[in-house]
Amino acid sequence: MENQTTVSYFLLLEFSKNRHLQLLHFFFFLVFYLAGVTANLLIISAVAFDHRLHSPMYLFLMNLSLQDLGIISVIVPKSMINSLMNTRHISYFGCVTQNFFFICFEASDLSLLTAMAYDRYVAICNPLHYETVMNLKACTEIVILVWFSGLLYGMLHTIGSFSILFCSNVINQFFCEIPQLLKLSCSGLNLLEVGIIIAGIIGALGCFSFIIVSYTVIFKAVLKIPSDQGRQKALSTCIPHVTVVFMFLLSGCIAYLRPPSSTQSYLDFGLTALYSLLPPLLNPIIYSMRNKNIKHVLSQLWRF
């Protein structure tokens, strides 16, 4: 292939040539997808319809669920359809769209987790100023900035990824994953894509550094709380967020630090499914398990 304009479609990873295993893959992903959609929609509904949850922490949580819902909705349905229809094809435009939205939601996730760390810092370390600092206007501006940064990075990264010259259209993964796309380059990475990747790494390191510093200060403040009940209450609002951040970091390491593979591998398939599908399913479960307000609202919605 002379350049990327000759690529009208891509071929995604085929889970198996055995029809029964293809159907097994379809049903497994279907169950996983429905569980993830249901869990995140419950969180979104609980926050949206109960005025008691109209606070900064729950506003951020609702947006996190929207992003997680977007991540699985971008990559899972196409993989299920391909297994069901016994095909591997995804159009060039479909791959571009999938790539853009996946990066957008992932980048927004990291930005939002950073904002949530700041919210917990203000709530625990400066409780008297919390209402002033984290008011409705400030939270709305933060959410808008989070989504804008995700959209901008997704657009730039997608432009950089698809400005390279492709020598093949065979993607060794079940969705248009960036590392696999970059392996199809004929001439290596161009300066635009290198610059975007470096900017992304710097941004990610900055976010994680901010989260680590914030929680270092938070845990020091928690240790100074005189009552055990006060310490437990403060920690109960932090532990779910720390767990989600750890999962995000772990999934990122799995995605981008694992040894490159040039051949189809069930291990590679499983690791990619782990980092891309598991966090969106577990995030709402983690937050609802340790939050009495959410559990109470969800129980009311369930009875309704």
Q: Tokens standing for 23?
A: 């159907």
Distance CA 56, CA 130 (A): 10
Strand partners, 11: 89, 170
Torsion of CA 221, 135, 63, 194, to 10 degrees: -80
Distance CA 220, CA 213 (A): 11
Element (H, E) at 10: strand 9-11
For position 34, what pLDDT does the model report?
94
Q: Tokens standing for 141?
A: 């501006």
Q: What is the pLDDT along the chain (304 residues), one digit of tens a residue?
A: 444 446 788 999 887 788 888 899 899 999 999 999 999 998 998 888 888 888 888 899 999 999 999 999 999 999 999 999 988 999 999 999 999 999 999 999 999 999 999 999 999 998 888 989 998 899 999 999 999 999 999 999 999 888 888 888 888 888 998 888 888 888 777 777 788 888 888 998 999 999 999 999 999 998 888 888 888 888 887 888 888 888 888 777 776 666 655 555 667 777 777 778 888 888 888 887 767 777 777 777 666 5
Strand, helix or coil at 11? strand
Cα separations in angstroms, 161 against 1, 10, 113, 189, 238: 17, 14, 25, 8, 36
Alpha helix segments (H runs only) across 86-162:
92-125, 130-133, 136-161
Name the pTM for this structure.
Answer: 0.89
Q: Roughly what angle, to the nearest 10 degrees, separates helices 228-256 and 191-223?
A: 160
> Residue 158 is which amino acid?
T
